[in-house]
A = this chain, B = another copy of it.
Amino acid sequence: MKTRDFPDGTILLKAEPGDEILSAATAEIQRRGIFAGGFTGVGACSEAEIGFWDGDKREYLKETIRGPLEILALTGNVAKVEDGKAFLHAHAVLGDRKLNTRGGHLFRAVAEPTCEIILRPLAGELERRMEECGLRLWKL
């Protein structure tokens, strides 16, 4: 993953072929000590693991979708979780060669050939804390 910083604080993150987008972006964001922010992105991937939160079972129903897939809308935010790590919460809408779409909570996506993420960091720390529903939600 390559990055570029702009004077207003915005950071561009470019996934290289084969990069797992979320872990590569998280590592970069963690390294910079960013614990709050928002991002959007577009790109394409060779496969992606997405999920749906089953509130009754208190678990994600996950599926790995084999690509290639266009990443049509990557939307999410950066926070700090209980172990002091940066955590990216991302949802993705994906498109296949028929231009049909599926989407979910993004767990994993392998860039092919790239994903272009625009991150706008925020000052300070945005914490997530485990709530009764079984998810770590924003602590505002």
Q: Residues of A at under 8 Å CB distance from B?
A: 2-4, 6-10, 12, 14, 17, 36, 38, 40-42, 44, 50-55, 61, 63, 65, 68, 70-77, 89-93, 95-105, 112-114, 116, 118, 120, 122-124, 126, 131, 133, 135, 137-138, 140
B102 lies within 8 A of A100 (CB): yes
Chain A binding surface, main DSSP class? strand
Contact of A131 among B8, B40, B113 (CB under 8 A): B113
The residues of B that contact A113 with a CB separation of less than 8 Å are: 55, 131, 133, 135, 137
Instruction: State how many angstroms separate the Cβ of A46 from the closest Cβ of chain B.
Output: 9
Between A65, A97, A100, A116, the greatest number of chain B beta carbons within 10 A of the residue's beta carbon is seen for A116
